[in-house]
Amino acid sequence: MRPIIGITTYVENATWGVWRDLPTTLIPHDYVAAVTLAGGRPVLIPQEDDTDVLRALDGLVLAGGPDLGPEMYGQEPGPHTVVRPERDTAELRLVRAALEMDMPVLGICRGMQLLTVAAGGTLHQHLPDLLGHEKHRPAPGVYGEHDARFEPGSRIATLMGDDLAIRCFHHQGVADPGTLTVTGRAEDGLPEAVEDPGRRFVLGVQWHPEVVRDRRLFGALATAARN
């Protein structure tokens, strides 16, 4: 049987058909397609405080989305920070419960940042202030393209092989990884991958592998969830 992979979701106002601007639980279809192609059975997780859903899952994808609330890592919000407090609360509780169960977890973009905060780490709230450029989010709806470098022997290095190209869209990034290990960086030194070598499968990537249906990363999650 295919492993059941939960995917966290957004709650945003959306418009379709005759319906206009309704609060909607949604996720880009790229995530669903990527999990399916990798051999998993995707299940969307609505934004709620209950973590009992984890008992029905074999693995978890922490999807991208808005900025994390800086109060989660001891900072005040900056002028460029846009948050969804209800999602922060629900997902932090969810990821902590999943980690306690040693459930395989793949964090994507915001999901990597959430893993970092759950591990006691901190974030940079606005990368252009730190790096002096906007290559990680060049324009609305436009992915930044980078060549990453990966730590030899790490899980991400093994999965990516000689393919160093990544596509990202974020203006925040990891400052302190907490108890996680940084295993990938962009050419400007910004962390692009984190792992927890002490767990069965905990991997966070700052880029968007779902967009290209990357079977290496989603396949590794599905394999870990199956075992």
Question: What confidence tens digit (pLDDT) does each residue in 136-151 have?
Answer: 788 888 888 889 999 9
Alpha-carbon span 90 to 72, nearest angstrom: 12
Residue 208 annotated as catalytic: yes
Catalytic residue among 124, 136, 170, 208: 208
Q: What is the CATH number of the domain that holds 145?
A: 3.40.50.880
pLDDT of 132 above 80? no
Mean pLDDT of 128-132: 76
Mean pLDDT of 53-62: 97
DSSP symbols for 5-69: EEEE-EEEEEEETTEEEEEEEE--HHHHHHHHHTT-EEEEE-S-S--GGGGG-SEEEE---SBPP
Catalytic residue among 91, 192, 195, 210: 210
Of 50 and 202, more confident: 202
pLDDT of res. 134:
80
The answer for residues whose C-beta is within 8 angstroms of residue 73's C-beta and 6 or more apart is 117, 121, 122, 123
Structural domain containing residue 133:
4-226
Question: What confidence tens digit (pLDDT) does each residue in 68-82 have?
Answer: 999 999 999 999 998
Residue 136 annotated as catalytic: no
Could you tell me the pLDDT band of residue 133, with boundaries at 50, 70 and 90? Answer: confident
Could you tell me the pLDDT band of residue 131, with boundaries at 50, 70 and 90? Answer: confident
CA atoms within 13 Å, Cβ hemisphere of 89: 6
pLDDT of res. 169:
86
Please tell me the pTM assigned to this model. 0.95
Catalytic residue among 91, 109, 146, 170: 109
**How high does pLDDT run on average in the chain?**
94
Question: What confidence tens digit (pLDDT) does each residue in 150-166 have?
Answer: 999 999 999 999 888 89
Give the count of domains, the chain: 1
Residue 151 annotated as catalytic: no
